[in-house]
Amino acid sequence: MSPKPKILVIGSANMDMVIQSDHFPAPGETIIGGEFSLIPGGKGANQAVAAARLGGEVCFISKLGQDIFGQQNLFNYQNEGIDCQFIGQIPEIPSGVALITVDKYGENTIIVAPGANHQLLPDDLDKGRRAFEAADMILLQLEIPMETVLATVNLGSALGKRIILNPAPAGPLSDELLSKLFLISPNETEAEFLTGVKVHDEASAKKAAQYFLQKGVQHVIITMGASGAYLHTNNFEGVLPTDKVTAIDSTAAGDTFNGALTVALGEGKDLVYAVKFALKAATLSVQRMGAQTSIPHMHEINPFQ
CA dist 41 and 252 (Å) reads 8
| Residue 255 appears among annotated catalytic residues | yes
Identify the pLDDT of residue 197. Answer: 97
Query: Per mean pLDDT, which range of 108-112, 141-145, 201-205 is the poorest?
Result: 108-112
pLDDT in tens, 128-177: 999 999 999 999 999 999 999 999 999 999 999 999 999 999 999 999 99
d(CA 124, CA 149): 12
For residue 74, the model assigns a pLDDT of 96
How far is residue 243's CA from residue 253's CA, in Å, rounded to a whole number?
Answer: 13
pLDDT at 2: 64
Q: Which residues contact 198 (CB under 8 A, 6 or more apart)?
A: 192, 204
Query: Is residue 278 pLDDT above 80, yes or no?
Result: yes
Q: Is the pLDDT at 236 greater than 80, yes or no? A: yes
Mean pLDDT of 108-121: 92
Q: Is 55 annotated as a binding residue?
A: no
> Which is more confident, 231 or 107?
231
Fold classification of 6-13+42-95+116-294 (topology level): UDP-N-acetylmuramoyl-L-alanine:D-glutamate ligase (3.40.1190)
On the question of pLDDT at 250 being above 60, the answer is: yes
pLDDT band at 121 (very low <50, low <70, confident <90, very high): very high
3-state secondary structure of 153: helix
Q: Is it the case that residue 305 has pLDDT exceeding 70?
A: no
Q: Which of 67, 83, 124, 255 is catalytic?
A: 255
Q: Round the average pLDDT of the chain to a whole number and report it.
A: 93
Mean pLDDT of 176-193: 97
Residue 294 marked in a binding site: yes
Give pLDDT, residue 3.
Answer: 86
What is the pLDDT, as a whole number, of residue 224? 93
Contact 82, 52 (CB under 8 A): yes
Does 235 appear as a known binding residue?
no
